């Protein structure tokens, strides 16, 4: 693991100046902008600038974490990043680099960005569940809601969008129909 983190750190530091000069002609310019993803356990916003990346993660309890990093993208689509941070007391340079470095696969497909294969030193599984997935570019037609401005029509669109809610609606209608029939029978019995 130490060899791996040292190697990535050396590659990252060696490639950063060359990357900065080629950024405008590099495929990383395709990623510039704001990308959003909702994993169900949290909302993730990635903001790509020419050499920096900001990642904001918000969970359902309104806890928000933001990290900033410098990054580069390899020819085969791997994003290598180094989180901004300070050296902890008593920490060697190798330990600091291992703590701050991360890597993931990024693939751009039209207005979608697919993040996969996240590699970090700690909490890889927990973080991967939130960060990995399909991102939509903010401001793209797919990212904007295609719902009517009329509240009644919008509600119908939202209900029809979800198969689970449609099933609940059918079950609710069945329940009320059975309940109505039971009340009518009870009324007939009471009249006698």
pLDDT tens-place string over residues 87-102:
778 878 888 777 788 9
CB atoms within 10 A of CB 16: 15
pLDDT score at 3: 52
Cα separations in angstroms, 63 against 54, 60, 137, 175:
17, 7, 23, 40
pLDDT tens by residue, 57-78:
888 787 888 999 999 998 889 9
**What are the residues facing 54 on neighbouring strands?**
47, 68
Q: Taking 70 as the threshold, does the pLDDT of residue 10 lie above it? A: no
CATH architecture of the domain 2-137 equals Beta Barrel (2.40)
For the chain, the average pLDDT equals 76
pLDDT tens by residue, 21-30:
444 345 667 8
Q: In which band, very low, low, confident or very high, does the pLDDT at 158 lie, cut at 50, 70 and 90? A: confident
């Amino acid at each position: 693991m130490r060899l791996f983190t040292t190697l990535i750190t050396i590659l990252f530091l060696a490639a950063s100046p060359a990357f900065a000069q080629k950024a405008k002609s590099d495929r990383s310019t395709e990623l510039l902008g704001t990308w959003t993803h909702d994993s169900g356990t949290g909302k993730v916003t990635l903001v790509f600038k020419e050499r920096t990346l900001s990642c904001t993660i918000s969970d359902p309890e309104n806890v928000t974490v933001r990290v900033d990093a410098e990054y580069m993208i390899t020819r085969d689509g791997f994003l290598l990043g180094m989180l901004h941070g300070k050296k902890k007391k008593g920490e060697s340079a190798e330990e600091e680099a291992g703590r701050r470095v991360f890597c993931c696969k990024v693939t751009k497909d039209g207005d979608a960005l697919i993040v996969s294969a996240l590699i970090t030193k700690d909490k890889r599984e927990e973080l991967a569940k939130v960060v990995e997935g399909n991102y939509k570019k903010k401001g793209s037609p797919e990212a904007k809601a295609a719902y009517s401005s009329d509240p009644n029509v919008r509600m119908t669109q939202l209900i029809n969008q979800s198969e689970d809610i449609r099933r609940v609606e059918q079950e609710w209608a069945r329940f009320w129909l059975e309940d109505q029939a039971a009340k009518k029978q009870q009324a007939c019995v009471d009249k006698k």
